[in-house]
Structure 1
Amino acid sequence: MRWWSSLITMGREGLRVQRVFAAPSAIARAVLAVLLAAILGLLLDDPVAGAMASVGAFICGIGTLLSPLRHRVVNALGMAAAFSATALLGALVHGTTWLFLPVLAVAAFTAGLARTLGVAPGIRGCLAVIGLMITADLAPGVHAGLVMAGWVATGTGLIVVVQLLPPYGPRYASQRRALAALYQSLAQASVTADPVALGRPAPFTAAREALDLLPQFSRPAAAAMFGLLGEAERIRRALQTVRLPGPVAAATGNRQALAAAAQVLGDISRTVASGREHSTPAEVWTLLETSAAASPVRSARDLAARLRLADQLARHSTDDRLGDVLEPHTEVPGLYAGTPTVTRTARRIRAQLHPQSPIFRHAVRLAVGVVIAEVIGRSIGGWSGLGISAHGFWVALTTMLVLFPEYGHTIARGWGRAAGAVLGGLLATLLSLPHWSPTGLAVASVVLAAASFVTLRTGQLMLNLWLTTWIVFLIHHVGGLPGPTAWARAADTVVGAALAILIFLIWPTWSTRRLPGLLAEWLRVQDRLLPELLTGYADAGVTDPATTDELRAQSRQVREHLEAAVHESHAEPAQHRGSWSTAQLEQISTQVSTVAGCVTLLHEHLPRTEQDTVPELTELADPLHEHLSALARAAAGAETVAPGALRSAFDSFVARSGLLAAASDGSRGAATSRAVALSTATVDAVEALTATIASRRHRHRAPA
């Protein structure tokens, strides 16, 4: 029942239609490229040229609409080169099945590895493989295949050309979007005063990765945006630590001050996103500065100043000032210098080349699945004369686009694509009934392609409805195929989707099984980071900012993977076999965020002067290191750890160190009191996580 319930739940998710659309200007460019391809076919009176150019423009157009991180021309060039190259390769291996299938397997494996760089690069890799299958399967011969590949390349070239058309928007649009989303998330968290929302790593990771893509020669001009990333980190820490006493101590005043901070952050977000200044009213700044002046807390006093600096950087990032070369602000050491993109990408992919990696397993599964689907598609491609005989690309295409590294996405996409193909087959059948003139055919083809572009991000159901209608309509009229071809394509889609789901279930990559390893990995990072911070309280400036920044970046990335795995595990039928229940996993996720928040506070209050030092705190580094090491092993299932051990060691440390007495000392009492409070909160958070990890499900499972 659990398996059937999971399939039904994910099936409903796959049939859901979302209101998410690409940028209208990007959609318009993609539609224009398809229109130009159709016009080219009409002018040449060559249906094959028009169809293949339309296919090239259509597939590459989809690639340009998928969450671009680089400049749109760079995205289009990369997609055009990859798709044209695979189409040429497919034409060269046409008719040699013994060579085509291994080449297809290698191409699919490479596309699977591209998932290392994100969902959009992974899908773009799969789209490139489609070019290989189209010419290898549909071309009547090698020469005809080369001609088809040439027209496909022409269509991809049209996509590149239309990217040069206005509107252009501000420079570094992708980086602006990521930074604007980061500041918007801070604004929302400021309004809700939610510490978990403030600690979410995804917006920071996205902004860091987007900026890290900039080449070395363009980074000086973008220094203001690097500074905005650093200030976002400092603002987040201030929001986590701020307490507004005095005249705004009441709940109403506190909400007003947080709302003012949210408004400033929102204005910064809009300025960065649009490249045009969005000024914050003077009364908002007055409220913030009054609150800061009345607060004895350093972070609260700094909040208004940090918001001022971020606002200045946002204005410096607008179009008319972006060329100003600024010194990069601190808090992002190493990022401004950066690692060359090719080196960094190769390093990330190389790190996945081991059997335990879910990305590697996904790539192998994709390669095997696509080859099996191609063989099955060639075996049934005729569908008793209704389909395209001896061609299996549609089954293989569906299998490739349905298979994802995660169970939930694979099942949902399988249901959505199958349902969309059936509806698309019905619509394509209706469109095949009347006679179409060449001009009418071109117009209808462009309209159907436009519908596919508009619904690209609304869900698999709507996308595949229009996609199936478009491709069947095009193939039917260009190739002179019988009307029931629509149902053959729908049947191919159902077979390909079912095959993808079956292959995943035979060789799964369960997020539930990855959770212990991810949690242990995150704890190992904390085992290095927390002692580093605690020893930093011995003297002002003793902590190496580059080291702590690198460790905190690692912590954020691992925590992002952990949170994603927790979310994915809820959809899995194997979840009941995991180490922790659904409620315990949510508890662990919350507790991890709490520990991360404590780490942020410890980092924020590192001593800046001799009066801020608390050298006694360094004594806590060793017991915390030992406990976190043992807890990492316990999370991985290697041993057990008893809750309370760290608390006992901490209580003994506090009693022995005399910190409580030092907290009443006038000269350094405030710093000591704060250090005791922060270390107590950290120990409490680690102990709470310890208790949840120790309550692994198999230790308390009731007898059957």
Structure 2
Amino acid sequence: MRWWSSLVATGREGLRLQRAFAAPSVIARAILAALLAAILGLLLNDPVAGAMASVGAVISGIGTIISSQRHRVVNALGMAAALSAMAVLGALVNGRTWLYLPVLAVVAFAAGLWWTLGRAPGLRGYLSVLGLIIMADLAPGVHAGLVMAGWVATGTGLMVVVQLLPPYRPRYAAQRHALAALYQSLAKTSVTADSAALGPSAPFTAARQALDLLPQFSRPAAAAMFGLLGEAELIRRALETVRLTTPEAAAAGNQEALAAAAQVLDDISRTVASGREHRTPERVWTLLEAWAAASPVRAPRDLAARLRPAERLARRSTEDRLGDVLEPHCEVPGLYAGTPGVARAARRIRAQLRPQSPIFRHAVRLVVGVVVAEVIGRSIGGWDGLGISAHGYWVTRSTILVLFPGYGHTIARGWGRAIGTVLGGLLAWVLSLPHWPPTGLVAASVVLAAAVFVFQRTGQLMLNLCLTCWIVFVIHHGGGLPGPTAWARSADTVVGAALAVLLFLVWPTWSTRRLPGLLAEWLRVQDRLLPELLTGYADVGATDPAAVDELRARSRQVREHLETAVKESRAEPAQRHSPWSTTQLEQISTQVSMVAGCVTLLHEHLPRTPRDTVPELTELADPMHEHLSALARAAAGAEPVAPGALRSVFDSFTARSGLPAELSYGSDRAATSHAVALSAATVDAVEALTTTIAARHRRHSGGLKPRKAAAHFDAGPPAGMASRQVV
């Protein structure tokens, strides 16, 4: 039943139509490039030139429209260079099957590894490979192939040229978009009822990556952007502190004030995105300042204080000169530092060159897929005269565009691409029935290309319907092929899609099976990070800032991988291999976020003066280390950790140490009670995660035997824990 429900769910996803379109100006530029390519062929009276220039313009246009953190001109240039180079390489190996298949394997492996950099770069890598297989498979010879590759390059050049046309977006448009999304996320977090967990980390990651792409020489001019990223992190911490430490009696006032903070954050988001100032009404600021002044705790004052610099930086970001606008206290992560983009990308790709890596498995699977698809395509023949014999392009093209790193995307694209291609082939066959004059061919090809660009983001069904119809129409009329070959193209595509799905099922990469390892890895990072932070309350500057920052960055990366794997596992039929149910996985994802929020707050409130120190908290470092170490082993399949053990240790610790068990406001022990409250919240968050992880053993108690662990808490605190308590 799980397989059937998974197929139904992914089938629906593959056929779902979304109302997602690119910006009208982006679509208009792509259509203009396709129009210029078609007109060029008409003026030259050369159908092949027009067809190949159109192919170059449309494929590079698809790659340019794909969402990215780079400028559209950079995207177009990258696509033009990659597609043109692959087209030339394809022409050079044309007719040499013994050379073409190894080259195809190497290029496919590189395209598979390119997914390390993200979905958009991975798709652009796929599109570039199409240039290789088009020229190697469909060109009549090496010389003719090089001529065709030249026209493909011409089409990609036209796509680059039209990107230089107005309307123009504000400077650093990609970075603005990422930062605006980040502040919009903070605005939503501000009015969310859940007070336990941090807001989503994905907007922060996207903003960091977008800013990391800026070259070193342009970073000083973008100082306001980096400042906004630093302020966003401080605002997130202040929001979480407000939720955790403000008295319950002030909850109603908090709601109104947090709604006002959300309005400020929304105005900052709109200012950054548009490059035009959106002022927040003064009454909103008055409300925030009154709320901060009346609060008995520091958190509301910190939040109000953080919003003002962010608003000023947003205003500064609208000016022509963006640099030299940062105040000394503002954190500017990565402004003058950072690894160059090429070196960083190479390092990330090298890290995937291991058999256990899902990306490496995907790259190997892709190599097998495209080589087998090419052999099958050439072996099929001409479908009893309807197709072109000894050509495997259409099968290979379908396989590479369906085979994704994850199960859900692969199956969904297989459904959507197969059905869309059949419908597109039917439409192309209908369009091939009448006689088309040259101007009619130009008009029809441009209209079909426009449909591709318009429906590119709406789903696989509509995209492939339009794309198949366009490419069959253009190539068939450019090459003088008969109309019925449209049916052969549809059949080849169905074969390629089926092959991609079959390959994934034969050698799958289940996100479900990666979950225990990812969770254990994240817990091992906390095993080092939390004791370090607790020890930091012994004295001012007791922690190593560089070590803590490195651990927090690693924690964030692993948490994002874990959250992605949880999302992908929902569509997989391998739930029987999961130690936790779908509901429990959702709980784990939420509880991991809760612990991460507590870690952030502990780091944010490390003592800044001797009065803020709480040296007693260092006694919790060893119990926390032992608990998290055992919990990491339990997540990986070892003996379970008994829920409640860590909380029992903490209660005993607070009772014996004389530390305040509740928050006290306005007293000389406010800092101490605040630190204890943060520690208590951290212990509760870890205990909640412990309870859910322990459920894996109850779920599998009927048959699976957990691996033996080195330590566990079945009968209470482990040996040595009690001896470390404050007496």
Per-residue CA shift, 1:461-515, capped at 9, x if unaligned?
0100000010011122111212112211111111111111000000000000000
Count of equivalent residues: 704
One-letter code aligned to 1:400:
I
One-letter code aligned to 1:391:
H
The alpha carbon displacement at 1:601 in A equals: 1.7
The alpha carbon displacement at 1:543 in A equals: 3.1
The alpha carbon displacement at 1:257 in A equals: 1.4
The more displaced of 321-330 and 274-283 is 321-330
Structure 2 CA distance for aligned equivalents of residues 477 and 200 of structure 1: 50
CA contact (8 A) 1:224 1:313 kept: yes
Determine if the alignment matches structure 1 residue 236 to structure 2 residue 222: no
Structure 2 CA distance for aligned equivalents of residues 298 and 536 of structure 1: 20
TM-score by length of 2: 0.93
SS in structure 2 of the partner of residue 541 of structure 1: coil
Determine if the alignment matches structure 1 residue 165 to structure 2 residue 165: yes
CA contact (8 A) 2:198 2:593 kept: no
CA contact (8 A) 2:580 2:699 kept: no
Alignment partner, residue 96 of structure 1: 96
One-letter code aligned to 2:74:
V
The alpha carbon displacement at 1:350 in A equals: 0.7
How do residues 364-403 of structure 1 correspond to structure 2 at under 5 angstroms? 364-403=364-403
Determine if the alignment matches structure 1 residue 547 to structure 2 residue 547: yes
Alignment partner, residue 34 of structure 1: 34
The more displaced of 137-146 and 484-493 is 484-493
Structure 1 CA distance for aligned equivalents of residues 101 and 671 of structure 2: 68
Structure 2 CA distance for aligned equivalents of residues 315 and 420 of structure 1: 47
Structure 1 CA distance for aligned equivalents of residues 577 and 701 of structure 2: 11
CA contact (8 A) 2:313 2:325 kept: no
TM-score by length of 1: 0.96
The alpha carbon displacement at 1:298 in A equals: 1.2
Determine if the alignment matches structure 1 residue 483 to structure 2 residue 483: yes
How do residues 1-12 of structure 1 correspond to structure 2 at under 5 angstroms? 1-12=1-12
Structure 1 CA distance for aligned equivalents of residues 633 and 680 of structure 2: 23
The alpha carbon displacement at 1:32 in A equals: 1.0
One-letter code aligned to 1:228:
L
Per-residue CA shift, 1:306-347, capped at 9, x if unaligned?
111100011111143424464686545456411111111111
One-letter code aligned to 1:512:
T
Alignment partner, residue 425 of structure 1: 425
Structure 2 unaligned blocks of 5 or more: 705-727
Alignment partner, residue 262 of structure 1: 262
Determine if the alignment matches structure 1 residue 185 to structure 2 residue 185: yes
The alpha carbon displacement at 1:449 in A equals: 0.6
How do residues 266-345 of structure 1 correspond to structure 2 at under 5 angstroms? 266-324=266-324, 326=326, 330-331=330-331, 333-334=333-334, 336-345=336-345
One-letter code aligned to 1:86:
M
CA contact (8 A) 2:245 2:674 kept: no
Structure 2 CA distance for aligned equivalents of residues 72 and 565 of structure 1: 30
The alpha carbon displacement at 1:565 in A equals: 0.7
Structure 2 CA distance for aligned equivalents of residues 539 and 206 of structure 1: 35
CA contact (8 A) 2:246 2:297 kept: no
SS in structure 1 of the partner of residue 436 of structure 2: coil
The alpha carbon displacement at 1:228 in A equals: 0.5
Pairwise CA RMSD: 2.1
CA contact (8 A) 2:212 2:334 kept: no
CA contact (8 A) 1:377 1:391 kept: yes
Distance 1:198 1:641, change over 3 A: closer
Structure 2 CA distance for aligned equivalents of residues 691 and 255 of structure 1: 31
Q: Percent identity?
A: 81
Distance 1:453 1:538, change over 3 A: same
Distance 1:653 1:428, change over 3 A: same
SS in structure 1 of the partner of residue 165 of structure 2: coil
Distance 1:36 1:284, change over 3 A: same
Alignment partner, residue 459 of structure 1: 459
Distance 1:663 1:464, change over 3 A: closer
Structure 1 CA distance for aligned equivalents of residues 223 and 329 of structure 2: 8
Alignment partner, residue 570 of structure 1: 570
Per-residue CA shift, 1:606-651, capped at 9, x if unaligned?
1122211111111111211121122112211244433333223323
Structure 2 CA distance for aligned equivalents of residues 58 and 83 of structure 1: 11
Structure 2 CA distance for aligned equivalents of residues 4 and 700 of structure 1: 23
CA contact (8 A) 1:186 1:262 kept: yes
One-letter code aligned to 2:102:
P
SS in structure 1 of the partner of residue 191 of structure 2: helix
Alignment partner, residue 707 of structure 2: none
Structure 2 CA distance for aligned equivalents of residues 441 and 272 of structure 1: 44
Structure 1 CA distance for aligned equivalents of residues 518 and 405 of structure 2: 16
CA contact (8 A) 1:175 1:207 kept: yes
One-letter code aligned to 2:563:
E
How do residues 569-608 of structure 1 correspond to structure 2 at under 5 angstroms? 569-608=569-608
The alpha carbon displacement at 1:416 in A equals: 0.5
Alignment partner, residue 680 of structure 2: 680
The alpha carbon displacement at 1:655 in A equals: 2.9
Structure 2 CA distance for aligned equivalents of residues 666 and 73 of structure 1: 57
CA contact (8 A) 2:226 2:334 kept: no
Distance 1:298 1:662, change over 3 A: closer
Alignment partner, residue 225 of structure 2: 225
How do residues 8-19 of structure 1 correspond to structure 2 at under 5 angstroms? 8-19=8-19
SS in structure 2 of the partner of residue 659 of structure 1: coil
